[in-house]
Each structure stands twice: as structure tokens, then as C-alpha cells.
Amino acid sequence: MLFILAAAALFSLAGAQVKALRGEIPLIQVMFCRNLFAIPALLPLLWAAGGLRALRMQLPWLHAMRITAGLIGMAGPFYGYVVLPFALVTALGFTMPLFLTLLSVPLLGERVGPRRGLAVLAGFGGVLLVALPGSGGGVELTGIAAVLVGAVAWAVAMISIRRMGEAGEANATIVLWFALGSALVCGVLSLPVWVAPRPEQWVLLAGTGLVSALAQVIMTEAYRRGEATLLAPFEYSAILWTTLMGVLVWGELPDGWDVAGIAVLVGSGLYIWHREVALGLKR
């Protein structure tokens, strides 16, 4: 539980560093640096998995799907950090389980009962609450849309990871190829728009990658040691960290609509998690 809480705090810190860049560095360049600086922190994972043998992939097309979806899923919130309140981006990111529930029907052949279906509808009702005109001090609808598209992409990435795991692909292979593939793609795309960062911006860019990688390693270790059904709800602690940082650093005080929408989003996500646990135990 402590590892999950720490990982949620570190992921929030990484997002704060992206927000601190204030959109002065092109989005694709930020994503490149995030993935590039994450690679050194993942080298122990490569070593523990047997060295270069860990890079032998069995399902290249699923890796391509995971990298593509992962990059879109990263771009959405990175853009949102620039134009939206910090805590709101995190809350909208919690729509990922809602989209995952919906996409699991056509892509994984799963059944969604009426209870989970109602929870999904309630979650999207929470999105409408935070997207109401004038909420959050003039929240930009384009930013909300970008974060939601990112959440859909992350759901697709999670499905690809699940399918690779079921086919026997090693976790280290999945993680390492995402970091390497994402850095390569973003590096090429960032060349035409490259902006020379100032020293303090280099610190933020490097910190984003290193902190994200550390958070990923800690969260992986948490799920390796503990029961996923017990640990998953603690990921929602990120909303506490981002709300606190938003208030203290950027003076972003959530209004009543934001609080109500975030509460509905988190509640629906937790209920979907509860139903999946219950159904898994029943099976």
C-alpha cells in the first residue's frame, strides 16, 4: 500500500514538472525527453530480466499497438496540464477504467452487466459536471477532450498489454520496448519543431522522465508483492496529491462543480473495480 501511495505521488510530481514547463517546449519534444530520460532508470529492469534477451519480442504488432496507444495516452494529459487545473487532469484520467470496461466488450469478448454499465454512465455524468460552462474558472473544452482521448488510448494500451500477457510476453519486454519505441518515434517527430531548452527546463524535462520511471518501477514492485484487488483503489490517492500541488503551487482552488464531478468520477471507478473483484471471486 505504501508503494502504491508513493508511486501515485511520484506520478503526480512528474505531471507537475510537465505543467511547470507552461507549454514553452513543444509537446512532442516533452514526450521525447520523458521517454529518453526514463531509459536509464529502466536499465536495472533490463539487467534483472536477463540483459538483451529481454528485448526479444514475440508479438511485434501488439507492441506497435501498445506504443501507438501509449503515446496518444501520454499526449492527452500532457496537453491538459498546460490548459487545465492540475487536479482536473488527474480526475479526467480516471475515466480510463470506464473506457476500458466499454472496450473490453468488443476487443476482449467480456460481458458488462447492468451494474457496471450504470457505473460507466455515472462516471461520464461526472465528466459533464466538470465540463459545464464556466466550471473550474473557464476550463477549456479542447483540453478536456484531449485528456479524454488520452484516456481512451490508455484503455487500448491496457488491453494490448493484457493480450500480450496472456500470450506469454514478459513484463520487462513490454515495458522496455515501450520506452525505446516511444523515444525513437518522438525523437524523429520532434526534430522539425525542436526548441533549445533553458537549463531549468532541462531539469524539468529530465526530472519528468526519471521520476516517471521510478514511479513505474515502484508500482510494479507493489503489484508484485501485494494483491492487485487490494492495492488498486490506492491509485486514486493521486487526486489528493494533485489537488494539494494545484492549490499550493498554482493557486487552483476547485469549485463546487469540480468537486462534485471528481467525486462522481472516483466513485464510479471504485465501484467498477469493486464489481470486477466480486465477479472474479464468484468465477
Flag whether pLDDT at 132 surpasses 80.
no
Question: Do 91 and 15 meet the contact criterion of CB atoms below 8 Å apart?
Answer: no
pLDDT digits (tens, 9 = 90+) for 233-243: 888 889 999 99
Residue with cell 466499454: 102
Q: With CA atoms as reference, report the closest residue to 90 among 135, 6, 150, 165.
A: 150
Alpha-carbon span 168 to 171, nearest angstrom: 9
By three-state DSSP, how is residue 137 classified?
A: coil
Mean per-residue pLDDT for 187-196? 96
pLDDT at 280: 66
pLDDT attached to residue 283: 54
Residue 135 has pLDDT above 50, yes or no: no
- Compute the mean pLDDT over every residue in the chain, rounded to the nearest whole number: 87
Taking residues 136-141, what's their average pLDDT?
A: 60
**Average pLDDT estimate for 223-229:** 68
pLDDT at residue 133 tops 70:
no
CB neighbour class for 274 (10 Å; exposed up to 12, middle 13-18, buried from 19) = middle
Decide if pLDDT at 149 tops 50. yes
Whether residue 229 has pLDDT greater than 80: no
pLDDT in tens, 3-62: 889 999 999 999 999 999 999 999 999 999 999 999 988 888 788 878 888 788 888 999
pLDDT for residue 65 is more than 50: yes
Q: Which amino acid is at 73?
A: G
pLDDT at 220 over 80: no
| Structure confidence at residue 136 as a pLDDT band (50, 70, 90) | very low
Q: 166-176 burial, b if ≥16 CB within 10 A, otherwise e?
A: eeebbbbbbbb
pLDDT > 90 in the chain, percent: 42
pLDDT band at 137 (very low <50, low <70, confident <90, very high): very low
**d(C-alpha 72, C-alpha 81), whole Å:** 15
| Angle between helix 171-190 and 27-48 (nearest 10) | 150
Statement: the pTM of the whole predicted model exceeds 0.85: yes
